[in-house]
């Protein structure tokens, strides 16, 4: 990829131009397209930044300033090589039930609402989202905007500000993304274009088709048909890939199998993550999946845990509800039996709270006010509080003094019921020096919990953790383990950019954006 000689913005007053990436549906790969374009344009020497006016995800991250934002925009910012800022995702909805969600504005939670309440009036949030967009446009040369779900949800169109509304506001050309792997790609594209208003239809300037399997030459007549029917260019047919690891936006990655057939052997380090109904921040376990010696299963249906070396209780957006689910399904007895047979259990965030004696919810933050009995495997109790703790934290893992870094997102305060061994000594939160402790460890060291997310991203901690479980573990067997997390992540963004660059008509995309003198 060569550098651009220079470029001109289609907008004046030194405001960056914008490009909007909208989808024919959810999970069609919009966020991956934005990630790829961020790295491609950055490699060309352009100061590019991602933006999503409103995101719905329980997979979030905390910036160095203590603001919460969706993980997809974190990934996109890393690909664009720009520092994180909540302006990239001004409105974040974190579902805590089938119909309710916590609303996070500019990185801080403001209210928990039912869907009908939220959608009754979104004008104020739209105004705030516009302010964020304008700030980004004044500081960068190009903003790549991501839509949400389908851009053709007719029932929500008057209240939806994340798709065409913000694109019109920014005078952004739109590229429509479809997913051929799920089938019905012609209906996805042509159906979307047929049901959206004329004003929206006119803003769409091209189409990208994701996740193609097979011989691309056999789809040439398909592309011809789409271009003839829509009068739009297909800007890229992107082959399906498995060799690139990018954090998923929300929900587990599509290629992760829940409850796989039990194929465990003694030579692997076998791990299980209990797939809670309101699981959050599952990316905590992604670094472990890269390890060649690790087999990691997500389990929703109760089964014996005896053959697993470690069991994880992950984060949850409704800890009390998920704790009741563990009891209702019988998972609690299986987990307790596993613990009583010297099983290793690790709870992160909500999972840590579940391992304690009880969770007290005096304000009814997760349903009816009251108390839920925990698994009782750690001598701690949790009280849920209205104010959310959002920290980017640095400290030491006490059992072996390993330096660690991560982030905390939780509504509760967890305190010892009687004397407990803390897990982490904290030295820094959001850039301020502190002297505090986090987490707790059982007397035998088999069970521990922490509020730290991102713990396994540090290769030094991960290696020490795996070595303790399996003395035969050796990092030399996996060259990926030798890379720092930063270098590994960066290598994946480069692979992604290369994969898309080969298949996209970049010159045409530059023309759509209004960037001139592209030296491709």
Looking at the fold, whether 204 and 349 belong to one and the same domain comes out as no
Q: Are 264 and 295 in contact (CB under 8 A)?
A: yes
For residue 173, give the 3-state DSSP assignment: coil
Q: Cα–Cα–Cα angle for 196, 197, 202, nearest 5°?
A: 95
**Residue 204 located in a structural domain:** yes
The tokens for 347 are 């709870």
Looking at the fold, whether 356 and 299 belong to one and the same domain comes out as yes
pTM: 0.79
Looking at the fold, whether 318 and 454 belong to one and the same domain comes out as yes
Q: What is the pLDDT of residue 61?
A: 87
Looking at the fold, whether 195 and 302 belong to one and the same domain comes out as no
Looking at the fold, whether 369 and 225 belong to one and the same domain comes out as no
**Residue 287 located in a structural domain:** yes
The tokens for 21 are 């990436």
Q: What is the pLDDT of residue 12?
A: 44
* Residue (of 456, 443, 449) closest to 412 by Cα position: 449
Looking at the fold, whether 233 and 318 belong to one and the same domain comes out as no
Alpha carbon separation from 243 to 237, 255, 261, 364 (Å, rounded): 18, 12, 23, 44
Looking at the fold, whether 445 and 347 belong to one and the same domain comes out as yes
Q: Are 337 and 303 in contact (CB under 8 A)?
A: no
Looking at the fold, whether 280 and 196 belong to one and the same domain comes out as no
Looking at the fold, whether 436 and 297 belong to one and the same domain comes out as yes
Report the CATH number at residue 377. 3.40.50.880
Integer Cα distance of 499 and 497 in angstroms: 5
For 230-268, the pLDDT digits (tens) are: 999 999 999 998 888 887 655 555 456 788 887 788 789
**Residue 69 located in a structural domain:** no
Q: What is the pLDDT of residue 250?
A: 52
Looking at the fold, whether 188 and 41 belong to one and the same domain comes out as yes
**Residue 261 located in a structural domain:** no
Structural domain for 366, as ranges: 269-482
* Alpha-carbon Rg for the chain in angstroms: 24
**Residue 119 located in a structural domain:** no
Number of independent structural domains in the chain: 2
Q: What is the pLDDT of residue 5?
A: 36
Integer Cα distance of 162 and 130 in angstroms: 10
Looking at the fold, whether 241 and 349 belong to one and the same domain comes out as no
Integer Cα distance of 70 and 11 in angstroms: 28
Looking at the fold, whether 382 and 478 belong to one and the same domain comes out as yes
Low-confidence ranges of the chain (pLDDT < 70): 1-13, 97-99, 115-116, 119, 248-256, 475-484, 516-520
DSSP letters spanning 87-118: GGS-EEEEESSSSEEEEEETTEEEEEEEHHHH
Q: What is the pLDDT of residue 254?
A: 47
For residue 17, the Cα-to-chain-centroid distance in whole angstroms is: 26
Q: Which residues are catalytic?
A: 349, 453
Q: What is the pLDDT of residue 227?
A: 97
**Residue 116 located in a structural domain:** no
Report the CATH number at residue 172. 3.40.50.300
Q: Are 421 and 438 in contact (CB under 8 A)?
A: no
């Amino acid at each position: 990829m060569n550098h651009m000689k220079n470029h001109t913005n289609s907008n004046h007053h030194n405001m960056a131009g914008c490009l909007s990436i909208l989808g024919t549906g959810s999970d069609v790969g919009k966020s991956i397209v934005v990630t790829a374009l961020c790295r491609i344009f950055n490699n060309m020497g352009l100061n590019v930044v991602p933006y999503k006016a409103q995101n719905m995800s329980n997979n979030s991250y905390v910036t160095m300033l203590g603001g919460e934002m969706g993980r997809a925009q974190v990934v996109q910012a890393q690909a664009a090589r720009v520092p994180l800022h909540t302006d990239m995702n001004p409105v974040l909805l974190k579902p805590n039930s089938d119909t309710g969600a916590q609303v996070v504005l500019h990185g801080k939670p403001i209210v928990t609402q039912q869907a009908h309440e939220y959608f009754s009036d979104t004008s104020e949030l739209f105004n705030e989202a516009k302010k964020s967009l304008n700030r980004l446009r004044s500081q960068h040369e190009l903003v790549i905007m991501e839509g949400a779900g389908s851009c053709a949800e007719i029932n929500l169109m008057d209240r939806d500000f994340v798709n065409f509304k913000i694109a019109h506001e920014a005078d952004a050309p739109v590229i429509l993304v479809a997913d051929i792997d799920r089938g019905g790609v012609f209906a996805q594209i042509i159906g979307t274009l047929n049901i959206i208003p004329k004003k929206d239809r006119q803003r769409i300037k091209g189409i990208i088709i994701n996740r193609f399997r097979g011989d691309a030459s056999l789809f040439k007549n398909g592309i011809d048909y789409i271009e003839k029917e829509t009068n739009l260019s297909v800007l890229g047919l992107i082959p399906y890939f498995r060799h690139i690891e990018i954090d998923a936006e929300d929900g587990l990655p599509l290629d992760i199998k829940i409850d796989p057939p039990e194929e465990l052997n003694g030579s692997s380090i076998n791990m299980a993550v209990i797939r809670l109904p309101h699981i959050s921040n599952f990316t905590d376990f992604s670094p472990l999946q890269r390890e060649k010696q690790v087999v990691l299963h997500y389990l929703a249906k109760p089964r014996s845990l005896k053959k697993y070396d470690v069991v994880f209780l992950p984060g949850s957006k409704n800890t009390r509800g998920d704790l009741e689910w563990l009891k209702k399904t019988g998972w609690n007895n299986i987990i307790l039996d596993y613990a009583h047979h010297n099983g290793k259990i690790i709870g992160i965030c909500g999972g840590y709270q579940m391992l304690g004696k009880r969770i007290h919810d005096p304000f009814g933050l997760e349903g009816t006010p009251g108390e839920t009995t925990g698994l009782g495997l750690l001598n701690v109790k949790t009280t849920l509080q209205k104010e959310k703790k959002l920290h980017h934290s640095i400290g030491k893992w006490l059992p072996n003094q390993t330096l660690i870094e991560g982030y905390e997102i939780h509504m509760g305060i967890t305190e010892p019921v009687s004397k407990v061994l803390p897990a982490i000594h904290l030295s820094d939160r959001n850039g301020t020096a502190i002297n505090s402790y986090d987490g707790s460890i059982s007397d035998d060291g088999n069970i521990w919990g922490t509020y730290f997310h991102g713990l396994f991203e540090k290769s030094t901690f991960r290696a020490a953790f795996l070595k303790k479980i399996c003395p035969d573990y050796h990092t030399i067997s996996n060259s990926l383990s030798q890379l720092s997390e930063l270098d590994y992540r960066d290598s994946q963004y480069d692979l992604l950019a290369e994969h898309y660059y080969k298949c996209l008509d970049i010159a045409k995309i530059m023309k759509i954006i209004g960037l001139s003198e592209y030296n491709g």
